[in-house]
Amino acid sequence: MNQRPIAVTFRATLIATLAAAGLVSGMPLAHAANKPSSKPPAEKTVEAATAPLPANAVARVNNVVITQAQLDDAVRASNAPDTPALRASVKNQLIARELFRQAAEKQHYESRPQVVAAVEQARTVAMTAAYLRDQVKPAPVTEADVKAKYDAIVATLGEFEYKPSAIAVKDADTAQTVLTQLKKGTDFAQLAKQYSQGPGAAQGGALNWISFKTPIQPGTTQNWPQPLAEALVKLPQGGVSSAPVQIGDAFWILRVDEKRATQIPQYDQIKDALRKQLEQLALQKATAQVVVDLMKNARIQQQ
């Protein structure tokens, strides 16, 4: 293999490589697959300069081989179209990273406190992740579970669904100021951006479509506070709350932007999303159980 083009393209793209050092954060270090040689440094240097590249190699940096498999992995990690130009660029990044590693190792950077701490943190993260993969056993989600979830959601839907906007403020005086401005014709979205501390404030208070079975019963409000749900269904399309609704320490003003007959998606349209939701809940439940089990035999002190 001709090694001269490697050196030429490396020099030409080194600056770009440095600027894009984080481009392929998952890129494996070239030395990881190679064992250190026991030969003296001078002999290793001569060997590296004269010996042909192994069949599975795309480059060698001093005595460290960069393999075709490492290049393939790095190209995949870039999430970019696999082209000859990309491969040349990524190979140069691998070469640069190996040069950096060797230079840092030569100056004993591995013993610096911040490097030792980073290595320990990475070790802890990898060890914990491996432990959780082995110990957390979420219950499988069946098709019956998904269908039951779908049926339960449909059972909470009413005849109509609403596209609301909301302004939530922290005190009654501010709520009254907002209501006064609305009566004067000030734009609801403008006031939401100015005053609201609730969801959707940056979008003018706009919220997602919601539907409630009426009369509203506890537990059938799609996680909305029941007083808000009751206030919303009493408003006509375009209607605005005549008085703020207090929920805890917040005062809410609602507007119904749109109102229509409830549109229930077909089961096949949303079953995949529901399955993912149930699988996430199962994972959270299983993880919580592992924590509970560990805490039974642990001594934990807190302030």
CB 113 within 8 A of CB 120: no
CB 158 within 8 A of CB 262: yes
Let me know the angle formed at the C-alpha of 166 by 164 and 170, rounded to the nearest 5 degrees: 160
pLDDT (tens digit per residue) in 100-123: 999 999 999 999 999 999 999 999
Two tokens at 272? Answer: 């995949």
CB 244 within 8 A of CB 175: yes
Residue 94: predicted pLDDT: 96
Range in 17-31, 131-145, 216-230 with the lowest mean pLDDT: 17-31
- 10 pLDDT band, cuts 50/70/90, is very low
Residue 20: predicted pLDDT: 41
Task: Look at residue 87 and tell me whether its pLDDT is greater than 90.
Answer: yes
Distance, CA of 262 to CA of 162 (rounded, Å): 8
Q: Would you list the domain boundaries of the chain? A: 4-111, 113-147+266-303, 158-261
- 222 pLDDT band, cuts 50/70/90, is confident
CATH for 158-261 (3.10.50.40, 2.40.30.260, 3.40.50.720, 3.40.1620.10): 3.10.50.40
Residue 213, judged by CB atoms within 10 A of its CB (0-12, 13-18, 19+), counts as: middle
Q: pTM surpassing 0.75?
A: no
